[in-house]
Structure formats: C-alpha cells, structure tokens
Amino acid sequence: MNAQIPCFEFHDVSFSWYGERVILERQSFSLPQGAFVLIRGSSGGGKSTLLRLMNRLEEVETGEISYLGQNLTAWHPSELRQQVAYLQQTPVIPDRSVRDILLQPFSFRVNREKTKPSDQILQQLLGKVQMKDIGLDDPGAVLSGGQRQRLSLVRTLLTGPNVMLLDEPTSSLDSESRRCVLELVEELNRQGTTIVMITHDTFLPKHVPVMKITIDQGRVFVCR
C-alpha cells in the first residue's frame, strides 16, 4: 500500500438533507493513511453524516470521495465496508450469545476465508475493554448500553479493517471503561489502523499525533 496516497480525499463534496439542511458545501480535504482523526462540531452539524459518506451509507450529491486513490463508487460496498468499518453510536446487537455476536462478521462472504479467533482471543479482547466478567455464552440481549458499545468495538476490530470510523464510541461508558477503550483505539492506530472518531470531550491520544476536524455550517476546518 502506497503511504503517499491519501486514505481519503474529498473533492468539492456537497451533501444536504432533502436539499435543505446543508451538511457539506463544495468541501475539499484529505486524510492521510494511518492518521488519528478527531471530528468535533455542534450537535446536528454533520459529524455522523461525514462518517456515513466515507463508507457509502450515504451518497454525495456533488463532487467525489476517493479511498486509496479510487472513487468510492468503484468499490463494491461489501469490500469497502470490510476495509472501512463503521461503528455507530448506538449499535444494534442481535439476541444471540456474545460469542455468536463477535463472530457474526465471519459469516459474511467477504470474510469467510479469514480465520475465526479462538475463545481465548475473544476473552482477552473483552478483558481489554473491561468486560472480562462477561461470558461468551451470555446472551447479548441483557447487556447494558455501554457493554453493547464495547462489544461492538471488539466485533469491529476482529476482522482487521484498514480504517475504523467511530461515532462517539465512549458516550455510554464510565471513566474507567472509557479509558480502556481509548487506550485500545490508540493501540490500533499505532499498529497502522486509520482512526476517524467523533468526540465531544477533550480527549487527545497520548502517544500518537492527532488531526482535528471541525464541521461548521457546511464547511470543514482541518488542523494538523
């Protein structure tokens, strides 16, 4: 992978809801491979929409978004979303065991050739996000909102995406769980995963440089 090619490039991108509420207005900027990007802005300003545009859960109105030098429309959606994983703020957890929930991505065609992690690995990862007391046979339906957020994070990283789009992944967590999750996310970034994360708090990674983005009234302000 050529590190000189930006991870994402936005070229004169515009997007609005129902042609009225403008989220982006002819904006151009790029995100480097391996970056740790923090997105901030007012509520309803378009932060989540920006993430959804990056793996085609929403489509641009005008302009173009490229991933690794290719227009997003050139990527098959399943292949794009395998490489660019999106973790929404309120994850959907099926009424199945914790093990089945974590292994769910390996049932998808794009991941079927990947080796499923062992129970030992699953338990180790759960321990990293303060869920060591959760059993793999426990039902996902009884998990709290914060536990569901952490379980979804572990499920997302198991398939080794190149990019993780995180929509306030610590919004429902207590201070200790939040610390553990942020340490794990920073560790993933040090290993080469591009992190694009929405946050409302003052968090800054301790050991990696950060790129800050603010969205305001249809414009994107980048601070490196």
Give yes or no for a contact between 194 and 6, defined as CB atoms under 8 angstroms apart. no
> pLDDT by residue (tens digit) across 160-191?
999 999 999 888 888 888 889 999 999 999 99
CA gyration radius, the chain: 17
Task: Kindly state the average pLDDT of the residues 52-76.
Answer: 95
Is 207 within the bounds of a domain?
yes
Query: What is d(CA 135, CA 220) in angstroms, rounded to the nearest whole number?
Result: 43
Tell me how far the alpha carbon of residue 81 is from its chain's centroid: 10
Residue 103 pLDDT more than 90?
yes
Question: What CATH number does the domain containing 82 carry?
Answer: 3.40.50.300
Is 147 within the bounds of a domain?
no
**33 falls in which pLDDT band (50, 70, 90)?**
very high
Query: What is d(CA 166, CA 157) in angstroms, rounded to the nearest whole number?
Result: 11
**Cα dihedral sign for 217, 199, 144, 191?**
positive
Is 134 within the bounds of a domain?
no
171: containing domain: 8-93+161-223
Is 65 within the bounds of a domain?
yes
Mean pLDDT for the chain overall = 91
**Closest CA relative to residue 155, chosen from 77, 109, 94:** 94
Task: Kindly state the average pLDDT of the residues 94-120.
Answer: 90
Percent of the chain with pLDDT over 90: 64
3-state SS string for 45-61:
CCHHHHHHHHCCCCCCC
Query: What is d(CA 153, CA 43) in angstroms, rounded to the nearest whole number?
Result: 23
pLDDT (0 to 100) of residue 217: 87
Is 72 within the bounds of a domain?
yes
pLDDT (0 to 100) of residue 2: 64
Is 139 within the bounds of a domain?
no
Residue type, position 145, single letter = G
- pTM (two decimals): 0.92
Residue type, position 110, single letter = V
Is 122 within the bounds of a domain?
no
- Residue with the bigger pLDDT between 45 and 158: it is 158
Give yes or no for a contact between 171 and 89, defined as CB atoms under 8 angstroms apart. yes
Give yes or no for a contact between 18 and 64, defined as CB atoms under 8 angstroms apart. no
Is 146 within the bounds of a domain?
no
Residue 64 pLDDT more than 90?
yes
**H or E segment to which residue 145 belongs:** helix 145-157
**How many independent structural domains does the chain possess?**
1
Task: Classify residue 211 by burial, with Cβ atoms within 10 Å: 0-12, 13-18, 19+.
Answer: middle
